[in-house]
Amino acid sequence: MTLIDTIRRTIAKRAHYSRTKREIRAMPLDVALDLNIDRADARLIARQAVYG
């Protein structure tokens, strides 16, 4: 694995994290309630989904 590959992978994960967080925060309240998701926890949920 080269440095460039590592940087690309890190940037891709960060973009995925940001997109996931944004989508959770924009989720309609009724959908969030159906999924038992607190939109205020978007940062934590996105981090777990992307980084494990």
Q: Which domain holds residue 7?
A: 3-51
CB 19 within 8 A of CB 45: no
> In this predicted model, what pLDDT tens digit does every residue of 22-51 receive, in sequence order?
999 999 999 999 999 999 999 999 999 999
Q: Cα–Cα distance between 44 and 39 in angstroms, integer?
A: 10
User: Does 1 score more than 90 pLDDT?
Assistant: no
Count of the separate structural domains present in the chain? 1
| Burial (CB count <10 Å: 0-12, 13-18, 19+), residue 24 | buried
Q: Which residue has the higher pLDDT, 15 or 1?
A: 15
Q: Where are the alpha helices (DSSP H) in 3-51?
A: 3-26, 29-34, 42-51
Whether 52 shows a pLDDT value over 90: the answer reads yes
Q: pTM, whole model, 2 decimals?
A: 0.86
pLDDT for 35: 95
